[in-house]
């Protein structure tokens, strides 16, 4: 968006730095608020797939994930070493080269096969994500913008694609903020939201 709006690099960097600092302060205050105490966060994370206490809007999974990563990588030798319980994780980094190498060989052997349009890191990221409800909407937006607008309306795509992306991101953040306080328990009280296909009974990601 900064490049699209032709914002000077220094101004853009300063704005992003200020946003990061402000966001950190707001997140800290939110986690320390009466409606979002640390004990509640821990309970919700433990019951991540429980329909009783689960609330995906305020469960703090990202915070707990960063905390867990910091602890585990501090013990990398014992956890990820040759005799560690999770030795396969660093090995997986090397194994990840294999699918990309196969993709490269296919493209070299059959140049007309458009396997280079398959971005493997993007798809593999979805396989390990804890929140999968975004995949369907992501695919729909991608098909409409990249599959239809880019081919059928290239001038509109070049002119407004970044603006559309910024609008979708901003609108999503705004509605999540409103729903967190109006419906979810970010304000201290949770209000039941009607059940439908997009809000099924239980966990929205169908945790097992």
Query: pLDDT tens digit string along 57-74?
Result: 555 566 667 777 788 888
pLDDT range class, residue 46, cuts 50, 70, 90: very low
pTM over 0.75: no
pLDDT mean over 82-88: 85
Residue 92, pLDDT above cutoff 60: yes
Please say whether the dihedral angle defined by the alpha carbons of residues 199, 201, 184 and 169, taken in this order, is positive or negative.
negative
Q: Which residue has the higher pLDDT, 80 or 50?
A: 80
């Amino acid at each position: 968006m900064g490049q699209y709006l032709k914002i000077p690099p220094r101004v853009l960097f300063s704005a992003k730095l200020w946003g990061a600092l402000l966001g950190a302060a707001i997140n800290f205050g939110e986690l320390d608020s009466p409606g979002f105490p640390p004990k509640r966060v821990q309970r919700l994370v433990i019951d991540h797939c429980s329909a009783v206490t689960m609330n995906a809007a305020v469960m703090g999974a990202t915070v707990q994930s960063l905390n867990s990563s910091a602890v585990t990588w501090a013990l990398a030798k014992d956890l990820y070493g040759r005799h560690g319980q999770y030795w396969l994780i660093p090995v997986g980094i090397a194994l990840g080269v294999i699918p990309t190498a196969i993709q490269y060989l296919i493209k070299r052997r059959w140049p007309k096969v458009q396997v280079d349009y398959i971005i493997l890191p993007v798809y593999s990221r979805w396989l390990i994500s804890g929140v999968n409800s975004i995949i369907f909407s992501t695919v729909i937006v991608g098909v409409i913008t990249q599959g239809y607008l880019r081919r059928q309306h290239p001038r509109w795509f070049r002119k407004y694609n970044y603006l559309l992306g910024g609008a979708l991101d901003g609108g999503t953040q705004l509605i999540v903020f409103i729903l967190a306080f109006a419906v979810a328990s970010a304000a201290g009280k949770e209000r039941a939201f009607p059940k439908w296909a997009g809000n099924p009974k239980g966990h929205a990601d169908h945790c097992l």
